[in-house]
Copies of this chain bind each other. A is one copy, B any other.
Amino acid sequence: MKSATRTVASLTLVLRIAYFGPEGTFTEQAARALAPGEDLTPYETVRLALQAVRDGAADAACVPIENSVEGVVPATLDGLSDGDPLVATAETILPIHFSVLKRPGSGEIRTVASHPHALAQVREWLETNLPDATPVASSSTAAAAVGVVEGDFDAAVSAPVAIEHYPLEELATGVADVRDAQTRFLMVRRPGELPAPTGADRTSIVAAAVNRTGTLSDLLVELAGRGINLTRIDARPTRNNFGEYRFFIDFEGHVAEPRIIDAMTALRRRCHLRFLGSHPRADGVAATIEEGAGNQDFLDAQAWVDAVLKGEGA
């Protein structure tokens, strides 16, 4: 998907999208969903994909943020909070169902390769369907597919998109022990124009606060007191120091809404804050708005105080 227009960055119509590779993984599949028809380039690590955006080598990067089985992706959280600011402008959620790939016409399956996380997620399926095959760990689901092409293994447990890259055939598709396992992916860019609010948005921040009793409670009270619903919270130790944390907080709403502006302003007084983006939720769930905590309520309250200040009301 390389584009001939790529060298003239300022004129190109095709966006240069970095993603956490290699080719043929779930992240490539997410990048295709979030940026159809754009110029996709795999990077070896999450950090390198983000660095490509910071350097200007890419316009945006697609990275995994959380999995319903494995939890958050530490490399993404750390990569977004260190270095120059990046903001998420879109997300997508993929079901994590694998394809089992083999060489066309090959016979008995004696070895099945994949990344250890993927092997763990299809263990029951393998025990039932390929009980005599030996599972072999590889560095990625795509590397397993390459190993099958090269004859190192008989089958690979891969992302469905892998079939488009390698001359293999599907032994099975939709394979997963946990039927509803899913991963959320973000598209991130350098700070710039924000996506418009939709009423079903997610805002992400990282708060670095001094380590004293009640710090996190103080931050969450600012959100709860404004009726703002959390969708995720993760505390990551500051590198190499157990007990000192950065808080990654996702909540419903968009930073362009008066209620969210009010909350962000209050949080900013209390801690070092980095904005990680406001964008539509992939699941389309509309924000919960409590009585007295809607945007018009915030505007009305501000108007009343303005009137008091001007001597026009009391």
Contacts and interface: CB of A to CB of B under 8 A. Distances in A.
Interface of A: 68-72, 74, 93, 115-116, 119, 135, 137-139, 143, 178-182, 184, 212-214, 216-218, 220-221, 223-225, 227-237, 239-243, 245, 283, 285, 288, 290
A235 B234 contact: yes
A74 B70 contact: yes
A116 B93 contact: no
A68 B235 CA distance: 11
A68 B234 contact: no
B227 A216 contact: no
Secondary structure at chain A's binding surface: helix, strand, loop or mixed? mixed
Nearest to A139: B137
Contact of A224 (B218, B236, B283, B288): B218
Contacts of A217: 217, 220-221, 223-224
A75 to B, nearest CB: 9
Given A221-B221, A235-B234, A68 B216 contact: no
Contact of A227 (B74, B213, B221, B242): B213
Given A116-B139, A242-B182, A242-B283, A229 B216 contact: no
A236 B71 contact: yes
Given A216-B230, A233-B233, 14 more contacts: A68-B239, A70-B74, A71-B72, A115-B116, A179-B240, A214-B224, A216-B233, A217-B220, A217-B221, A217-B223, A217-B224, A231-B243, A233-B235, A242-B283
A184 B230 CA distance: 28
A241 B181 CA distance: 9
Contacts of A231: 243
13 contacts: A68-B237, A68-B240, A70-B74, A71-B236, A115-B116, A116-B137, A137-B137, A178-B239, A213-B290, A214-B227, A216-B233, A217-B223, A231-B243
The 7 closest A-B pairs by CB, nearest first: A214-B224, A217-B224, A217-B220, A180-B240, A213-B229, A137-B139, A71-B74
A243 B236 CA distance: 19
Contacts of A70: 74
A228 B217 CA distance: 11
B181 A240 contact: yes
Nearest to A237: B68
Contacts of A229: 212-213
Nearest to A229: B213
A223 B220 CA distance: 13
A39 to B, nearest CB: 28
A287 B245 CA distance: 17
